[in-house]
Amino acid sequence: MSSAPPRILCIGTHHKTGTVWMRRVWRLIGAALDIPFVPVHNPAKWTKIPPTGRVIVVNWAAAFAPELFDQPDARFVHIIRDPRDVLLSGARYHETSPGRQERFLHGARDDLAGKSYQEHLQALDSAEAKLAFEMQNMHQKTLTEMLAWPYGHPRALDLRYEDLIADTDCNQFVAALQFFGFDQAEIATARQIYHDNSLFGGLRTDSGTGRTATHVNSGAARQWPEALPAATAALYLERHGADLITLGYETDKKWLSRVAPVPLALAAGGMA
């Protein structure tokens, strides 16, 4: 497959895999380096990408048009997260978020007897019930998107949220910048922006507003061994054990022994 200097710089994430973090970081990088920031939420509208000049193109379901993958001047950075942590983070957020950014959360649904997704989730009486509902709904959609990515594409760099959240020296992010063809001065600017807007950097002391305030709760990696109820873990293994292996988060289906007993207060008190 032929290649060309990077021009179309694509960032793909998934729900609860660092999307708000990456949106903030890459908007600021684009502004600082005078590179247009172009969200393409509908892959079919990829032609809205400017035909010349560098451009940052984002899609928060990591769904890019096949034609874009064929562009020799396109590069892709793709971020995934352990789906078990995505499940926990998603259920917490969907139960408590006051915001209206995710329209699916707040509209009345016929299949939920007129309740919204959030209202139905809030009405369930146990953490296990909430997580089971999340698992078969929004989580299934997110996991399907993760599995659909063309892993191994020669112009794509696949990263894990778990590695980025521990990337206190910013080495992984610098590697992504180099992959995008940034020069040394640009890398220095972008690296500082990344550090200042990461949970291990400047964002630690930023109370946040808007989406940052509602999305950034605990950015810790590998929450599931301590926070996933045993019944939920067993259900997840049954439904998605093979998917964890496909994504490289497990090598077999023997991980239930690593699930710690969930404190009674958490099990009784919901997902907040």
211 within a domain of the structure (yes/no): no
12 within a domain of the structure (yes/no): yes
- Intra-chain end-to-end CA distance of the chain, in Å: 48
Alpha-carbon span 41 to 126, nearest angstrom = 35
User: What is the CATH classification number for the domain harbouring 33?
Assistant: 3.40.50.300
Alpha-carbon span 186 to 117, nearest angstrom = 43
Question: pLDDT of 68-125, one tens digit each?
Answer: 999 999 999 999 999 999 999 999 988 888 766 677 777 888 888 888 888 888 999 9
Q: Is the pLDDT of residue 208 over 80?
A: no
Contact 46, 27 (CB under 8 A): no
Please check whether residues 60 and 163 belong to one and the same domain: yes
The answer, as to whether pTM is greater than 0.85, is: yes
User: Residue with structure tokens 């001065």?
Assistant: 185
- State mean pLDDT over 187-203: 88
3 within a domain of the structure (yes/no): no
Count of domains for the chain? 2
Q: Is the pLDDT of residue 215 over 60?
A: no
Helix (H) or strand (E) holding 182: none
Please check whether residues 133 and 101 belong to one and the same domain: yes
Q: Is the pLDDT of residue 207 over 60?
A: no
- The residue segments making up the domain with residue 193 are 8-82+150-205
Contact 58, 39 (CB under 8 A): yes
177 within a domain of the structure (yes/no): yes
138 within a domain of the structure (yes/no): yes
Please check whether residues 133 and 197 belong to one and the same domain: no
118 within a domain of the structure (yes/no): yes
Please check whether residues 130 and 186 belong to one and the same domain: no
For residue 147, the model assigns a pLDDT of 98
65 within a domain of the structure (yes/no): yes
Please check whether residues 131 and 28 belong to one and the same domain: no
Please check whether residues 190 and 244 belong to one and the same domain: no
For residue 101, the model assigns a pLDDT of 65
Question: pLDDT of 49-71, one tens digit each?
Answer: 999 999 999 999 999 999 999 99
For residue 192, give both structure tokens: 């500082």
Q: What's the whole-number average pLDDT of the chain?
A: 88
Give residue 272's pLDDT band: very low, low, confident or very high (50, 70, 90).
very low
